[in-house]
Structures are given as C-alpha cells and as structure tokens.
Amino acid sequence: MIDPLFVELSRWQFAATAMYHFLFVPLTLGLSWMLFMMESAYVLTDNVVYRDMTRFWGKLFGINFAVGVATGLTMEFEFGTNWAYYSHYVGDVFGAPLAIEGLMAFFLESTFIGLFFLGWDKLTKRQHLAVTFFTALGSNLSAMWILVANGWMQNPVGSAFSPETMRMEMTSFTEVLFNPVAQVKFVHTVAAGYVTGAMFVLAISAWYMLKGRDLGFAKRSFAIAAGFGMASILSVIVLGDESGYTLGDVQKTKLAAIEAEYETHPAPAGLTLFAIPDEQAMENSYSIKLPWALGLIATRSTTGEVTGIKDLVVKHEERIRSGIEAYDALQRLRAGERSDEISARFDLHKTDLGYGLLLKKYTASVVDATPEQIALAARDTIPPVAPLFVTFRLMVLAGVLMFFLISASLYFSMRRTIERQRWLLKALVWSLPLPWIACETGWFVAEFGRQPWAIGEVLPTFLATSSLTSGDLIFSLTGFITFYTVLLVIELFLMIKFTRLGPASLGTGRYHGENGHAAAAHAAG
Amino acid sequence: MILDYETLKFIWWILIGVLLIGFAIADGMDMGVGVLLPFLGKTDEERRVIINTVGPHWDGNQVWLITAGGAIFAAWPAVYAAAFSGFYMAMLLVLFALFFRPVGFDYRSKIEDPRWRNSWDWALFVGGLVPALIFGVAFGNLLQGVPFQFDEFLRSHYQGSLLTALLPLLNPFALLAGIISLAMLVMHGAMWLQIRTEAPVSDRARSVAIWLGLVVVLAFAGAGLWVAYGIDGFRVVTQPALDAPSNPLAKTVVAERGAWLSIYHTVPVAILAPIIGFGGILLAVLLSVLRRPGLGFIASALGMAGIISTAGLSMFPFILPSSLDPNSSLTVWDAPSSHFTLTVMFWAVVLLLPLVLSYTAWCYTRMWGKVTVDGIRAGSHTAY
C-alpha cells in the first residue's frame, strides 16, 4: 500500500533539490546574455572598460555557474533514482527532451564556457565573442528543452497510453515540442531569468555608486542592465504564463486554485486581489475583487469563462468513474483477454485512466471503489488553495516592484543623473532578493498547483515514486540539504568577497583599491 | 520510419555504448587527473598546472555523463528506472562526489590561503576517485545480476535499503571491476598529463601510467577468468519476436555458468573487443616508456573502449540482468522506448553528435600547448 510519509519525503527531496538548483539557473540565463552585450560593445568600440566589465561580471557569473552545474547533476538522475515508476511510465516521451537537452544545449554551453574563462589570451576578439555567444545560447536552449519536458508534465499532448507496454508513448514529436503550455512557460521563465540577471547587475552597480567607487565602470554596467531589464520585465508581465492556464484540465484547476475561485462566475471573471480562503467551506472571506481582470488575463477575451473549483470537482468525479472503466479494461487486457469489446471499452475510457489511478490511494482494488472513496479522490484533484493563492500574489508583487524599480533605473540612467538618485540606488541594493523570490514562488505555483498529478491527468504523484524506503529518503534528503547548504554558503562567501573587491580583482591596475587606480580609472571612465 | 524497430533497438545499444565510451575517454581523463592532482603536484604552482590542463575542457567532458544519463532515460526508460533507483545508495555516493568538481575547479584558486586550496585539491581527488570506482563496481554488479524484479504493472522492486542495499554491491568481483575502472581512468589521466605538462610533473605522470597500465591488464585478465569460472551469466531461453513492443516479462531466462562467454562462440569476431582492450593498454604502457604520450593517449583511449565493449558484449543482449527473478531482466529487445521515440532520438543523435565533436575539437585545438608554471604565473588572475 502507499506509504504517505515516503511519498511526502520524495516530494520534499525533489522540491528541495529543484528549488536549490533554480537559485543559480536564472542568474546564468540572464547574465550570460549581458556578458555577450558587454563584450559586443568591447569588440565594436575597442574600449577596454567593456572587456573589464565582461571579465568582472564573468567572474561572478562563474562563481554562480559552478553551483548551478553541481546541483544540476542531481536533476538529470533524480527521475530515475527517486521517481522510477514515473521514469518507466513516461520515459518514452519525457526522456526525449532531456536527452536532446544534453546533446544540443549542455554540450554547447559547457564546451564553450571553459574557453570563456580561460581563453582570453588564446582567442582573437571575435572568436572570444563567439564563445560567449554560444555559452549564452546553450544555457538558453537548455531552458527551452527542460520546459518542453515540464510543459508536457502540465499538459501531456502528443502521446498515448499503450496497454502492451504499460506506459505512455510518444505519437507526435512536434506536438510535444510546440505544446502551447511549454512555449508560454519557456518565454516566461527565460524572461524571468533575464530580469534576475539585470537586477543583479543593477543592485551591485548601485552599491558601487553609493560608495562612490568605480563610477565609470558601474554606470556603464548599470545602463546595460537597465535597458536589458526593461525589455525583460515587460516580457515577463505581458507574456505572463497565465495565458497557458486555459489549456487542459490541470491548468484550469491550477488557475481556479491560484485565484481561490470556488464558483464559476459569468464571463469575464473578476480578479481577487486579496482574500482569506477557507478550504473546508470552499469560500473566501474579506475578498477584494477587481472586476473583469481575471477573465481578460486568463482567457484573453471578454467571453471566456473561468471554471470554479466546485464545478471542477463535479467534473472530475465523472472522470474518475470513467477511469474505473478504463482500469478494469486495462486489467483484463494485461491478463490476456484480448477481445474487441474490451479494447473498444479501453479506448473509450483511456483518457480517464489517470483519474482511475487516483483511487489507488484509497483502495488496492480500484474497480471496487466505494462512492465515498470516489468522492475523496475527486476532492484530491484540487490542490491546497491557500498556499497557491498566497505565493502567486507574492510573485506578482515582486514582479510589480521590479517593474517600477527597473523603469526608474532606465529613466535616470538615460537622463545621466543616476548616481545622484541615492534613494533609488539604496532601494535597488535592498531589492536584490526580489527576482529570486519571484522565481521560486513562481515555480512553487507551477508545480504545487499541478498536484495531485506528476503528469497532468495521467499519473498521480503518489504512484510515481521509486520503491525505496522512508529511511533511504531521510538519509538522502538530509545529505542533499546539508551538502547544498554548505555549497550555498561558500558560494555566497565568494560572491560577496569578489563584489567587494570589484573590478580590481582583475588585477589590471585600473580600479578602486589598486595602486595608481585614480588616474587610470579616470581614463577608463 | 526508415529503420525497422529491431534494427533501431540494436543501434541504440551501440549508441549508448558510444556515449559511455565517450564519457570514459573525455571525462574519465578529468577524473584521472583529479585523482592524481594531490600526488603529482608537489607545489601549489604544479597543482595549478595540472588543473589547468583540463580546466577549459572538464565541463564539456562531463556532459558525456549527463547525456548518457539522458539518453538512457529516452532510449531505455526501464533501465533508467530500475538501475538508478536500485543502485540508490551508490548513485548518491557518485552524485555527492561529483558535486565537488564544478566548485573545486572554479573556486580553488580564487583564494590564496593554502588550507583553502589544499582542501579543494582533495575535494577534486574525491570527485575523481569515487565515480571512477563506483562505475566499475556497478558494471561488476551488472555482470552478476542485480536483485530487482517487476510486478504486473512493471513497477520495479528491489532488496534492501540503506546499508543492506549498499554493502552487497561491494562484493569482491565488483570491487575488482571497480579497480579496473579506477586504474584505467587514472592511467588515461596520466597519459594526458604527459602530453600537456613539462618535467617534473610529466615524468611523474609517466611512471604512474606505466605501473597502472600493468595493473589494468592484470585485473582485466583476472576478471575474465572470474567470469569464465567463478560467476553465473544469464541466458535467454524463450525470446518473443525481437520487434515486439517492449515487455520485460514476456521472455524466460536462466542463470548459467559461462553464459557470458557464449557470444565469443556464436560471434567469434567479438573477441576483438578484449584483444583491443589488452592491446590498447599495453601499447599505451609501451608508448609511455618510449616517451610518445600523444600516440599513447590514443592507445589508452582504444584500450578503454575495448574493455568497456568487452563488458557490454559479454552480456549481450542483457543490459540489466536480475538475480532475484531472471525473467525480469532487461535486454536490448525489451527495455527500449517505442519505435517512434527511438527513431526521433536516432535522428537527434545523427544530427547533433557530429556538431558536438567538431566544436569540441575546435576548442581543444585553440587551447593546445603545454601548460607551464610560467604561463600560470603570467595569467594568475585568469587561470584556475
């Protein structure tokens, strides 16, 4: 029978390792393109300050990248180690983007990154610029393939269940690749990474300006980051991935949970800005609503309806009943009864097979499930509302704050008065955690909101695990958290150390804290 | 679908083999260098020389491992599921050791403190030693069969947890396989250091390569005898159609002494694999003696390819034999993905791998030349 503690521990481990990994990924995504911009400016203008910028921000990039690679290793193997049944059940579809990610993206990024750091004296200017470009392209391609994989977990298109092999099999690679949920998620996620890179450079440059050091270096870095950040934050907000939430049942459920929409309202639905959701009674107290907004954002129309949670539960109960039929037919097929009648019955109900599997939490014999068990399973199809409602609003709040900060940064940067706006510079330094808060809460919403499914409508999370023990998981979870925390502490130590040293760490003699830097800094600035 | 399912299943067995051999040649070299680092580098500058011979390339090389993992997921999902969860504790050991390498390479020389640097040097040592050893141990256990079985829904179950899962993996035969793997990767790293460093480091690498080469040859011969007389192989008794949809429970299998040698009777040309294994390693030793490390590196790469191929061929068509329920064993014919997915992935490899090889070659040629103590001093702020 299912051991709830073991399932819980498996989920905690995946969440912990993935969220740690994603502390490092967004900065890589954003900073890599900014390095390319800085180096392009160097190649075009021959002004050595742009080379120094590329090398200095590149040093910080490297400190971050190293832990990103280390924590990324876990992700490539963790489906097999901890989600073995998942791997068997959907590897035919899900494994393909992961393998292509390795071949197309990881090789590109990782082969060239060594030359980015160590090839300055061995490559011509243009060759080095190309190396930087391919590093950035590789990391962004990797984001694309992993989001194709993740998009399929949310909205499993281009595939069908095969009773003979007892797994999902791919039927169309292009449908998997051009899955609309994957495309929206890709744009949203990389743009969030670009914002992270921009906020990182803005905050540190602001700190140099507040200290009155390396002004020329800091202002140039700041200007690039402000421009890049503005384009990125607009993309994140305008192309927010709520537009993907009308596709497929799991996404609809997630949307209803995020919005604590218990009832289906006439279109276009209002957006709940604030409320205290009561999950038992299925209602909200103290809600403040913005009319029309949700309908417009989620369906991009004034007529699209946003289905409420109560209606979703009713619909899911029907699908569970149909899933029982599918499960019964599957059992007969697996046992060798190969009649046309059973095959036809299986084909009729097979899209609901996953809903039938939800009952395995309550009974080993799915076909004999009682009405109470069916009702419980139907209630399980709605993820806990309050955590989603709150984290989603945190993400949006962080995004809106960053929008204002970046807009002001760009404005004053263009007016060339940025070093005098001390309030803004201070606000930027203190806002450094904002992009990480937005990224982590965003992932939480996306994945916690997918529950109870590992693969939407196909495979419940509690069935997707490996056949390990809670002891195994306590050991490994403790190990990962300890190891990762030590790595994080070392990483932050080096980040802070080299941020304090600033461009002087390049040893060029042109910067703050180096002998004779005053004259040279003036020349470079 | 130009290629039929049976052919594609076979091609994918070769492709996974190519990825594993690519991993051994590329990243195995870095692991070998990591293991040698604290011993061959007597001063901080010598150690920086050693690190910088692989500094620009180790990250790209490691992708062979990651891609092999991803390719096994895509092409043999049942193997990915059963092996990685069945070897849970061993996988954790490998992962934890691998964590040391990205940070070790990048962080080591960022701070001058000798204790800091020394700690990272030993971290890089562990990051090379543990995976090199465990991968061999894993192969040693594959050859003996792994205690797992499938239930009716093809969920895999295994014996043991924590130490009761880990300790049986560390049996004498598996440890011998671990020694082969460790010795050959470290030897390969020593070949690389002979090419890319100057005396005295290159001289030290030379004697290490010569001695370890002999260890590899002896251990490989010993393992061969052990496989022939000491452990059971597995044999498929009834085999469903080779192009049937993958169902690991449809065949019957027996465990049998000497079954792992049958391929050399049925397909005599397979004997080339162990011959290349022995020949390549011995040639690498000879070329080290003659101070021709460039050719010697190619020889050791060939030798490793021969040794890995020997293990793969001896088990054919098995990939993951089960000691608990031999019928649950996974083979080339019943572990793969669907015909469609194998086709898609085949074209992905055909299009992308040559591209990868060509830009990797470009990167190596750009960074070519001896890494010297003077060079490290000149680029102190840039070099690892």
For B270-298, the pLDDT digits (tens) are: 999 999 999 999 999 999 999 999 999 99
**Nearest CA distance, A162 vs chain B (angstrom):** 9
Task: Please tell me the predicted confidence (pLDDT) of residue A519.
Answer: 45
**C-alpha–C-alpha distance, residues A90 and B222, integer Å:** 41
Judged by a CB distance cut-off of 8 A, whether residue B92 touches chain A is yes
Which B-chain residues 341-380 have CB contacts (< 8 A) with chain A?
A: 341, 344-345, 348-349, 352-353, 356, 359-360, 363, 366-367, 379-380
Task: Please tell me the predicted confidence (pLDDT) of residue A290.
Answer: 77
Judged by a CB distance cut-off of 8 A, whether residue B160 touches chain A is no
Q: Which residue of B has its CA nearest to A166?
A: B153
List CB contacts (< 8 A) between A489 and chain B.
none
A273: helix, strand or coil: strand
Task: Please tell me the predicted confidence (pLDDT) of residue A283.
Answer: 81
**C-alpha–C-alpha distance, residues B329 and B145, integer Å:** 8
Phi-psi region of A138 (alpha: psi -120 to 50; beta: other; left: phi over 0): alpha
- Dihedral of CA atoms A321, A322, A328, A333 in degrees, nearest 10, equals -170
Number of domains making up chain B = 1
Among the partner-chain residues B56, B66, B95, the one whose CB lies closest to the CB of A115 is: B56
Q: Which residue of A has its CA nearest to B360?
A: A111
Give the N- to C-terminal CA distance of chain A in Å, as an integer: 69
Tens digits of per-residue pLDDT, B317-345? 999 999 999 999 999 999 999 999 999 99
Do residues A241 and A131 share a domain? yes
Q: Minimal CA–CA distance to A71: which of A489, A466, A483?
A: A483
Percent of chain A with pLDDT over 70: 96
Of the three residues A380, A401, A436, the one that is the final residue of a domain is A380
Full 3-state SS string of A306-349: CCCHHHHHHHHHHHHHHHHHHHHHHHHHHCCCCCHHHHHHHHHH
The residue among A54, A81, A127, A357 with the most chain B CBs within 10 A of its CB, best to mutate, is A81
- Cβ of A88 within 8 Å of Cβ of B110? The answer is no
In a domain? residue A477: yes
In a domain? residue A522: no
**C-alpha–C-alpha distance, residues A415 and A70, integer Å:** 42
Task: Please tell me the predicted confidence (pLDDT) of residue A244.
Answer: 61
- The pLDDT confidence band at residue A293, using thresholds 50, 70 and 90, is confident
| Low-confidence stretches of chain B (pLDDT beneath 70) | 1
| Tokens found for residue B81 | 């599921």
Tens digits of per-residue pLDDT, B141-158? 999 999 999 998 899 999
Do residues A234 and A290 share a domain? no
Of the three residues A325, A347, A380, the one that is the final residue of a domain is A380
CA–centroid distance for A64 within its chain: 17
Do residues A79 and A111 share a domain? yes
Which B-chain residues 243-282 have CB contacts (< 8 A) with chain A?
A: 245-247
In a domain? residue B288: no
Number of domains making up chain A = 3
Do residues A84 and A104 share a domain? yes
B159: helix, strand or coil: coil
- Cβ of A76 within 8 Å of Cβ of B382? The answer is no
Do residues A301 and A314 share a domain? no
Domain enclosing residue B90, as ranges = 5-226+338-378
In a domain? residue A523: no
Do residues A198 and A253 share a domain? no
- Cβ of A106 within 8 Å of Cβ of B245? The answer is no
Residue A172 DSSP label: -
In a domain? residue A15: yes
Task: Please tell me the predicted confidence (pLDDT) of residue A520.
Answer: 46
- Cβ of A95 within 8 Å of Cβ of B352? The answer is no
In a domain? residue B319: no
In a domain? residue B271: no
Collect all residues with Cβ–Cβ distance below 8 Å to B136 and sequence separation of at least 6. Answer: B174, B177, B178, B179, B180, B181, B182
In a domain? residue A35: yes
**C-alpha–C-alpha distance, residues A311 and B75, integer Å:** 41
Tens digits of per-residue pLDDT, A81-106? 999 999 999 999 999 999 999 999 99
Do residues A237 and A316 share a domain? no
Q: Which residues pair with A274 in a beta bridge?
A: A288
For residue A524, count CB atoms less than 10 angstroms from its CB and return exposed for 0-12, middle for 13-18, buried for 19 or more. buried
Do residues A318 and A207 share a domain? no
Task: Please tell me the predicted confidence (pLDDT) of residue B319.
Answer: 97
Domain enclosing residue A253, as ranges = 249-306
Q: Which residues pair with B257 in a beta bridge?
A: B232
Give this complex's ipTM. Answer: 0.95
**C-alpha–C-alpha distance, residues B285 and B209, integer Å:** 7
In a domain? residue A494: yes
Among the partner-chain residues A112, A166, A334, the one whose CB lies closest to the CB of B363 is: A112
In a domain? residue B328: no
